[in-house]
């Protein structure tokens, strides 16, 4: 199924995520809910239980898009 980017009025493909979002949340259930909804809306998601882990991966994963804390 094609995903649709309502901001640009263009369909998205699996190879074209809107951006990478770092989710920093220690509750695994909440991480899963956030990941599901964000990926469903076309974003790539990387979860971390602690902010320190996110900071360590910031440069390596080239996250310049969004953070959800």
For 39-58, the pLDDT digits (tens) are: 999 888 999 999 888 888 88
- Please say if the pLDDT value at position 7 is more than 70: no
Q: Which residues contact 1 (CB under 8 A, 6 or more apart)?
A: none
- At 67 the pLDDT is 73
Note if the pTM is more than 0.85. no
The answer to whether residues 66 and 20 touch, using CB atoms and an 8 Å cutoff, is yes
Residues 17-27: pLDDT tens digits? 788 888 999 99
Alpha-carbon gap, residue 29 to 40, rounded angstroms: 17
Q: Any idea how long the chain is? A: 69
């Amino acid at each position: 199924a094609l995903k649709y980017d309502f901001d640009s009025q263009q369909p998205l493909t699996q190879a074209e995520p809107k951006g990478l979002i770092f989710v920093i949340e220690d509750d695994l259930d909440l991480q899963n809910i956030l990941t599901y909804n964000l990926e469903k809306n076309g974003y790539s998601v990387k979860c971390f239980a602690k902010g320190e882990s996110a900071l360590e991966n910031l440069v390596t994963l080239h996250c310049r898009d969004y953070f959800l804390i």
